[in-house]
C-alpha cells in the first residue's frame, strides 16, 4: 500500500518515519516545509499539496491539530478531496470529536472514499518508539486492510466499532490523562510547601498504587523544570473541551474534567499553551 502522510509535527513526524521504516512506499506533506527535511534526506517524496498526496496514495493519513485543520486538509483548496478517487482510504489520526468524525465520513462517502478515525495516545515517546495505542473507528474490513500500517506505529491497536468510536475512546483517555496530571501537580505543590524531598516523593509515587505514565514520564520533567512538550498543553485543553461538549450532550456530569479544563485555560492564558501538559505545575506554583 502506498501511504501519504499529512502533518509532521511532534507526533506526526515520528509516526511517518515509522511507516517508512516498515517498508511502505511513502509521500509526505507539511505546511511548514522545514519539517519535511528529514524525509527529503531519505529521498522520500515531498508533496506540494494534500491533493498531490491523495493522487499518489492508496491510504492518506492526516495528523493535524484540530477539526478545522482536518477540514482544511481534506476539503479545502488543493485538499485531499481534489485528488481523491473511489476506493481511497482516509485515516484521521488527529483528536477531535465523534461528531466531527461522522461528519467527515459522510462527506467522503459521497465520493466513494473510505474513512477511519484513529486517534492515538502515548506521546512523543510512543511515536518515536512505535509503541502508540491506536483507537480505530470505522468499517472492520477497512480496519483489517490497513492494520499493518497501524502496526508500524503502535503496539496496541483497538478496533472500537463504528466511525466516531475511535474519537470517543480517545476523549475518555484524555479525561484520565488530564485528571492524572492534576493529581501529580497537586502532590508536587503540597510536597514543596511541606519540605518533602522530590526524589523520595518520586520513589513512592512511581512504585506504589499511585504509579502511572504521568508519574513515570512527566514527573521527572517537572522536577527538572523541563517543560518542552511531549504533548502540548493547548492540545490537551482542546481535547478536554471536546470531552465536556460530548458529556453535555449526553447529560453526564464530569466535575473533575471541568476543573482540569479551567486550570489548563489558566495555563494557556499565561502564554504557556505551546509547552508540555506537565507545565500545569506552574499554575499551582502561582496559586501557592
Positions marked catalytic: 170
Burial class (CB in 10 A: 0-12, 13-18, 19+), 35: middle
Could you give the angle at the alpha carbon of 151 between the alpha carbons of 132 and 156, nearest 5°?
45
Cα–Cα distance for residue pair 244/247, rounded to 1 Å: 5
Cα–Cα distance for residue pair 59/152, rounded to 1 Å: 14
Concatenated DSSP letters for 83-113? H--TT-EEEE-S---HHHHHHHHHHHHTTT-
CA 238 to chain centre: 11
Cα–Cα distance for residue pair 265/273, rounded to 1 Å: 9
Rg (C-alpha) for the chain, rounded Å, is 20
- What cell was used for 273? 499553551
DSSP state of 215: I
Half-sphere exposure of 189 (CA within 13 A, CB side): 17
Query: Which residues does 132 contact at the CB level (< 8 Å), separation at least 6?
Result: 15, 120, 121, 122, 126, 153, 154, 155, 156
Amino acid at each position: 500500500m502506498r501511504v501519504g502522510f499529512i502533518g509532521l509535527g511532534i507526533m506526526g513526524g515520528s509516526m511517518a518515519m515509522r511507516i517508512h521504516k516498515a517498508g511502505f512506499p511513502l509521500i509526505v506533506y507539511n505546511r511548514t516545509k522545514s519539517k519535511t527535511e528529514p524525509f527529503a534526506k531519505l529521498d522520500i517524496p515531498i508533496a506540494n499539496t494534500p491533493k498531490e498526496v491523495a493522487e499518489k496514495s492508496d491510504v492518506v493519513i492526516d495528523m493535524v491539530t484540530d477539526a478545522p485543520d482536518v477540514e482544511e486538509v481534506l476539503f479545502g483548496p488543493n485538499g485531499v478531496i481534489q485528488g481523491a478517487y473511489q476506493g481511497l482510504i482516509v485515516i484521521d489520526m488527529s483528536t477531535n470529536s465523534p461528531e466531527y468524525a461522522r461528519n467527515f465520513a459522510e462527506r467522503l462517502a459521497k465520493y466513494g472514499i473510505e474513512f477511519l478515525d484513529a486517534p492515538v495516545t502515548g506521546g512523543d515517546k510512543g511515536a518515536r518508539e512505535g509503541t502508540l495505542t491506536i483507537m480505530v473507528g470505522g468499517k472492520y474490513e477497512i480496519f483489517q486492510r490497513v492494520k499493518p500500517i497501524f502496526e508500524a506505529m503502535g503496539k496496541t491497536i483497538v478496533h472500537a466499532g463504528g466511525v466516531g468510536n475511535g474519537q470517543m475512546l480517545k476523549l475518555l483517555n484524555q479525561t484520565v490523562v488530564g485528571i492524572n496530571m492534576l493529581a501529580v501537580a497537586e502532590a508536587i505543590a503540597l510536597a514543596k510547601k511541606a519540605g518533602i524531598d522530590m526524589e523520595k516523593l518520586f520513589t513512592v509515587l512511581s512504585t506504589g498504587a499511585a504509579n502511572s505514565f504521568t508519574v513515570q514520564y512527566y514527573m521527572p520533567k517537572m522536577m527538572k523544570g523541563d517543560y518542552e512538550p511531549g504533548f502540548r498543553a493547548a492540545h490537551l485543553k482542546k481535547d478536554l473541551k471536546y470531552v465536556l461538549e460530548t458529556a453535555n450532550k449526553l447529560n453526564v456530569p464530569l466535575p473533575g474534567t471541568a476543573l482540569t479544563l479551567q486550570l489548563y485555560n489558566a495555563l494557556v492564558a499565561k502564554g504557556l499553551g505551546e509547552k508540555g501538559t506537565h507545565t500545569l505545575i506552574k499554575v499551582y506554583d502561582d496559586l501557592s
